[in-house]
Structure 1
Amino acid sequence: MAIDTLRAERRALILGGAGALALPWIARAQTSYRSEYKMSVVGNRPIPFAEGAFKWAELVTERSGGRINVRVYPGSQLVGGDQTRELLAMRQGVIDMAVFSTINIAPQVREVGLFQLPFLMPDHKALDALIRGEVGRDIFGVMERREVVPVAWGENGFREISNSKRAIRTPEDLRGLKIRFAAGAIFSDIYTGLGANPVQMSFADLQPALSTGAVDGQENPINLFLAFRMDTLAQKHLTIWNYVNDPLIFALSRQVMNSFSPADQALVRDCAVEAGRWQIELTRRGLGVEGGDDSSIRELRQRGVEVMVLTAAEKQAFARVTRPVYDRWAATVGAELTRKAEAAVRAAAA
């Protein structure tokens, strides 16, 4: 009996020691993820663009129990404020996750320039047909070949035009106006074709340029116009023409995605989809989409902004003038992808 007891004690001691030796390994396995994952986004709260990034980060951090701790770096601060460098920085390992503007990454991913073809998408139904269908899947496939894993779509919004000089209802109204654009040679071509003087400028430089009259106008989504009170920067005329939209892509580097367990990969994707859908809803709020709430339009008018909502016929006048730009850039985007997009837009309107 004593021998059996001694053997049992030795066995327990050996097993206990093995368990003790195993504990550090278990701890290492549980903490092999980084202490922080860096997410980049243009702008900051409260604009919907940035809100989508914060929402994604919060959902991932919360639902992983802090195992995947995501911190948002707004204002593209990880790339010195130059949002056009975010994609390259992700491929270099500087950025782990991001909510990309398709405008900002178009110089590196020519296919996303599809969304900047002037007057391709007349409304939100058309945009949804693109990002929710085959076109959206094709573009995600292109992104994946660049060591980036796209996981969800968002939306920055249709870009409307404002200025300090006069109402814009026809192409002739743009002649001679100095219009700021953020990035992308196609925007320079569009405004040059319309007889305006396009000026490329960062958003940080835009506000002082508007206040001093260095530029006459700008193009941005309405939610951004309201958030930055551009009506106080002499922007008293705003035209809703829906000439291009800026869909957003929620993405992370392939290296980071591959470092997660399959369950955590699914968690990151699910959180991105949820954040993206919420962000799209936030972007469209108050715009009277499909006859809904138009509080943002009413607020603009209450602030003394003259708001022109162009008819389909008036938009067509701009589309005709910019058609050479459309055709030239469609060749860059890709003829097959453009044909798919045009077919999807026609089907959405039927």
Structure 2
Amino acid sequence: MLKKQFCRAALLAFLLLWSFDGEAHLCDNVFRQQDKLIVKPENYNLVVKDRLTFKIFLQNNMDRGIAEISLQADSPAFDFQITPARMSIPKDQRAFFEVTMSPHPGVASGNYGVNFRLVGGGREFKRFSLNTGGEAAGPAAGTEPGRTAPAESKASRFQVRAMSTPPQVDGQPGDPAWKGAAVASKFSSRAGGNAVNQTYGLLGYDSSRFYLAVFCRDERPEQIGLRDQVRIWLAGPAGAPVYGVTISAAGSQTTSRIEASGKQSAWSPAGLKQSVSRQKDGWLVECSIPFSDLNLSGPQLVRPWFLRLERFKASGVSEESYWSADASGFNSERGYGQFIMAP
């Protein structure tokens, strides 16, 4: 009897340990992976006059989920409200804290440091600081209203390889020309976290054109219509205009350009090709853009390009998602991913 009771106790202990293996508190194993918790504030230089609300995003790239983590702020010049008070972050998921800052009465405009700490399990996990100022900067060159301008970062580029044979822009999957293409995946939802509806982008180029294919999975393909859209924002090396094209699942197209001054203007790409097709589990758009339509003579090798992909899903359960990933896999809510056109 004693032996049976011991065996039952051992089995129960094993099951309890197993059940908590995938979602951990900030134990030593998690602390050893702290560099894999990516912290991205919406802006590193904050402009605070009366009251300011912004987000601090966290991307969990560790090998397990975090059961509980909280954000603490400290500054002699401001009061803070942070929501949620604490949260969990599953493995490979993105979440955010919303921070509202209010200056103390009598605080003059100026630069003040704000210290933030991520805490869990009674221990400090990570610390970072932001600066604040009293005056807003002017609009940055090459920006769409409400979005961060493209900015170079050597640590956040991936490579797009040249295509020996260009793909046929016919909306049909399976073209072998896409086999070695760079992949843009793991879109983020505007509601927070990973997108529910998966979207995949394929990128390539040749001597005269940039090629892009975007596949949009959909649980209700029979309901796909005009309001289901993909939007592409593309810019050449820093200082170049940002070119935008929106393509619907019905094949309609709109284009625009963001000038270096930040002003939006018309763009009429004479050589842009596109094709849209319905698939059994979603829809596919392929397009190619001549470099000449971007006012460039060629692919501008080894210099950084900027790309942002947005998907608007209207059929079934609606969702807006986007891709703008850096090397860590983090999607900036208002920014761009970077890539290099490699030989």
TM-score, structure 1 as length reference = 0.20
Greater per-residue strand proportion? 2
Greater per-residue helix proportion? 1
Greater relative contact order, per chain length (Cα 8 Å cut-off, separation 6+): 1
TM-score, structure 2 as length reference = 0.20
